[in-house]
Chain A
Amino acid sequence: MTDNNSRSTSGASVSARSLRDRWFAYLANHHWVARESLRGLLQVWLASAMTWLVIGIALALPTILYLILSNASNLSGDWNGKPRISVYLQSTVSVAEGQAFAQQLGSQAGDVSSLEYISPAAALAEFTERSGFGDVLQTLDRNPLPAVIVIEPTSRQAAQLQLLIAKLESKPEVESVSFDLVWLERLFAILSLAERFVIALGGFLSLGVLLVIGNTIRLAIENRRAEIEVVKLVGGTDSFVRRPFLYLGFWYGLGGALSAWVLVGLSLIFLATPVEMLLASYQGDFVVSGLGFNESLLLLASGGGLGILGATLAVGRHLRRIEPS
């Protein structure tokens, strides 16, 4: 609506109307075009549903992968919440000395949130019970296991943990300290790899959605060629001609995102029970989390946005070529 400048018009002219009137008429036109383009889609609902489903599948795939990922990092977050340091004591340290040492470690405020002293005898008993090697151990003439102090550190940051480990290792009573950071690091590396994979996949599939919508819009433009010509003949601006197609793209995208949302929901219902059963056998209560309110909103917004973008690309390429003749 940037026209009508620098022209002297006679009689009742367009520019004679107030800006306010034109603004409301502009909004009314948006409203009308939005409603009409949606109604047009619903009139051929079967064809529209097909397009929505195609877009829905393309959007659902990365969304499901994203959910798997976010559930997995929730899971590892739980495990990561309780890192444990095992401090093996020298075999020369007696039980009493060991207990005293443990008490001394525990009284050091800050580093240690809780600890437990496990005597060689207790360790042997536990090992016998868990490993099933009890008979073999009984043939040994002395207990080969050292005393262990299991520490739950207050900090969860790798740098501080390493500092704590170094301090523990320097104590004369300590034989060795073990803390399994490696597997956690690996898990995080795998998760961040998977995250990149999901982003790349999401990118490809979004491109697919753009092409699907672009192509559908291109067909719509061809179908309404006569209308476009007439609109241009009676003074329709480019943005006026473009508007119905942008709304069409928006409805395609939004409808696609809605069907993706439904597909994701159905997949979760299908997967949640076995996944929860599997995880229950490891560590108790785990609930598979679906799409939250914000994530659903983001999905719908991306769908609508991709629709408008795809339509914009198609319209830019094809609309200019249609001129009345």
Chain B
Amino acid sequence: MIRFDQVSKRYAEGREALSRVNFEIPDGDMAFLTGHSGAGKSTLLKLIIVMERASQGQVFVQGTNLNRVSRRQIPAIRRDIGVVFQNHQLLFDRTVYDNVALPLTIAGYQPREVGRRVRAALAKVSLSNKEKQFPIALSGGEQQRVGIARAVVNKPSLLLADEPTGNLDPGLSEEIMNLFVQFNQVGVTVLIASHDLGLISQMNRRQLLLHEGRLVEDRPAILTVGSDDGQ
């Protein structure tokens, strides 16, 4: 699903955000990307959705070499990847419904189909009663769940999250993480960048630890994925 092959990313100002990173995440896996802020977590995610390009090495997503993707092809790549952002990236002048519907409108779904899918996604994150509200009226946890609904509404095969529990209290954080687990259980590959180590160890999944741009540890889940289902 995702493969990094000797990937380095050097920004224009000379800072090296990633250096010679190698790893592979197979289809249907769920993994955490950890490390201090500034370790390169966000850069790594940005490479996957082609917000940034690798300076060296190659990034493969679903077999596509992202180095060879032209500017015109980027939207198609992004449509099959759901992304949850720390700052939600919601549009505050649109209702919850319209925010979640955005990826479907972009992908060219008929309004009827859009309605069906948006309601399903909102039900999944338990926000069915908030579809007519504006994001500003929601709590931080609810806004994050709107972001998640938007990320999964197009049924992507890959779900990325950048500090999805960043500003949430522990109870809400766990709730959000369990949502990701549920998506993973239906076959979605999930990669979450987070420095909430307590929560991550509780989840018992594969962990990729970044330190100053280097992948310093690749710790597999202690139990097999299948045995997690009962938690």
- The answer to whether A and B interact is yes
- For the complex, give the distance between the alpha carbons of A184 and B150 in Å: 74
Asked if A233 and B157 sit within 8 Å, CB to CB, the answer is no
> Interface readout for A195-220 with B: 1 if CB under 8 Å, 0 if not?
00000000000000000000000000
Question: Is the contact region of chain A dominated by helix, strand, or loop, or is it mixed?
Answer: loop
Residues of A within 8 Å of B12, CB to CB, are: none
Asked if B157 and A230 sit within 8 Å, CB to CB, the answer is no
Task: Judge if A122 is at the interface, Cβ distance under 8 Å.
Answer: no
Q: Determine which of A12, A226, A236 lies in contact with B106 in the assembled complex, contact meaning CB atoms within 8 Å.
A: A236
Interface centre among A11, A14, A24 (most CB of B within 10 A): A14
> Can you sample 9 A-B contacts with CB below 8 Å?
A1-B108, A7-B77, A8-B62, A11-B156, A14-B80, A26-B108, A230-B91, A233-B85, A235-B76
Residues of A within 8 Å of B106, CB to CB, are: 231, 234-237, 240
Q: Determine which of A5, A29, A235, A324 lies in contact with B51 in the assembled complex, contact meaning CB atoms within 8 Å.
A: A324
- For the complex, give the distance between the alpha carbons of A233 and B89 in Å: 9
Q: Determine which of B83, B108, B156 lies in contact with A29 in the assembled complex, contact meaning CB atoms within 8 Å.
A: B108
Residues of B within 8 Å of A325, CB to CB, are: 51
Residues of B within 8 Å of A235, CB to CB, are: 75-79, 103, 106-107
- For chain A, residues 1 to 53, give those with C-beta under 8 angstroms from any C-beta of chain B: 1-5, 7-14, 17, 21-22, 24-26, 28-29
Asked if B110 and A231 sit within 8 Å, CB to CB, the answer is no
- For the complex, give the distance between the alpha carbons of A248 and B105 in Å: 19
- For chain A, residues 214 to 248, give those with C-beta under 8 angstroms from any C-beta of chain B: 226-227, 229-238, 240
Task: Judge if A323 is at the interface, Cβ distance under 8 Å.
Answer: yes
- For the complex, give the distance between the alpha carbons of A17 and B93 in Å: 30
Residues of B within 8 Å of A234, CB to CB, are: 78-79, 83, 102-103, 106, 150
- Quick one: given A25-B108, A235-B106, are A13 and B80 in contact (CB under 8 Å)? yes
Within the complex, the shortest CB–CB distance from B150 to chain A, in Å, comes to 7
Residues of B within 8 Å of A28, CB to CB, are: 110-111
Q: Determine which of A2, A9, A240, A324 lies in contact with B157 in the assembled complex, contact meaning CB atoms within 8 Å.
A: A9
Residues of A within 8 Å of B83, CB to CB, are: 233-234
Within the complex, the shortest CB–CB distance from B163 to chain A, in Å, comes to 16
Asked if B108 and A22 sit within 8 Å, CB to CB, the answer is yes
- For the complex, give the distance between the alpha carbons of A3 and B75 in Å: 8
* Nearest CB in chain A to that of B90: its residue: A230
- For chain B, residues 93 to 132, give those with C-beta under 8 angstroms from any C-beta of chain A: 93, 102-103, 105-111, 113
- For the complex, give the distance between the alpha carbons of A272 and B156 in Å: 67
- For the complex, give the distance between the alpha carbons of A11 and B103 in Å: 16
Within the complex, the shortest CB–CB distance from B226 to chain A, in Å, comes to 20
Give chain B's interface residues, CB within 8 Å of chain A.
27, 49, 51, 62-64, 72-73, 75-80, 83, 85, 89-91, 93, 102-103, 105-111, 113, 150, 154-157, 187
Residues of B within 8 Å of A22, CB to CB, are: 108
Within the complex, the shortest CB–CB distance from A226 to chain B, in Å, comes to 7
> Interface readout for A281-325 with B: 1 if CB under 8 Å, 0 if not?
000000000000000000000000000000000000000000111
- For the complex, give the distance between the alpha carbons of A29 and B110 in Å: 9
Asked if A24 and B76 sit within 8 Å, CB to CB, the answer is no
Asked if A7 and B62 sit within 8 Å, CB to CB, the answer is yes
Residues of A within 8 Å of B187, CB to CB, are: 11
- For the complex, give the distance between the alpha carbons of A91 and B54 in Å: 104
Interface centre among A233, A234, A235, A240 (most CB of B within 10 A): A234
Residues of A within 8 Å of B150, CB to CB, are: 234
Query: Nearest 8 pairs between A and B by C-beta?
Result: A3-B76, A235-B79, A235-B78, A25-B108, A234-B103, A12-B155, A235-B75, A237-B75
Asked if A25 and B110 sit within 8 Å, CB to CB, the answer is yes
Q: Determine which of B63, B89, B111 lies in contact with A230 in the assembled complex, contact meaning CB atoms within 8 Å.
A: B89
Asked if A233 and B110 sit within 8 Å, CB to CB, the answer is no
Residues of A within 8 Å of B90, CB to CB, are: 230
- For the complex, give the distance between the alpha carbons of A65 and B111 in Å: 48
- For the complex, give the distance between the alpha carbons of A10 and B72 in Å: 21
- For the complex, give the distance between the alpha carbons of A286 and B80 in Å: 70
Residues of B within 8 Å of A25, CB to CB, are: 108-111
Residues of B within 8 Å of A226, CB to CB, are: 91
Residues of B within 8 Å of A229, CB to CB, are: 89
Within the complex, the shortest CB–CB distance from A25 to chain B, in Å, comes to 4
Interface centre among A235, A324, A325 (most CB of B within 10 A): A235
- For the complex, give the distance between the alpha carbons of A2 and B157 in Å: 21
Asked if B78 and A7 sit within 8 Å, CB to CB, the answer is no
- For the complex, give the distance between the alpha carbons of A1 and B90 in Å: 24
- For chain A, residues 110 to 157, give those with C-beta under 8 angstroms from any C-beta of chain B: none
Residues of A within 8 Å of B49, CB to CB, are: 233
Asked if B76 and A7 sit within 8 Å, CB to CB, the answer is yes
- For the complex, give the distance between the alpha carbons of A167 and B113 in Å: 85
Residues of A within 8 Å of B155, CB to CB, are: 11-12
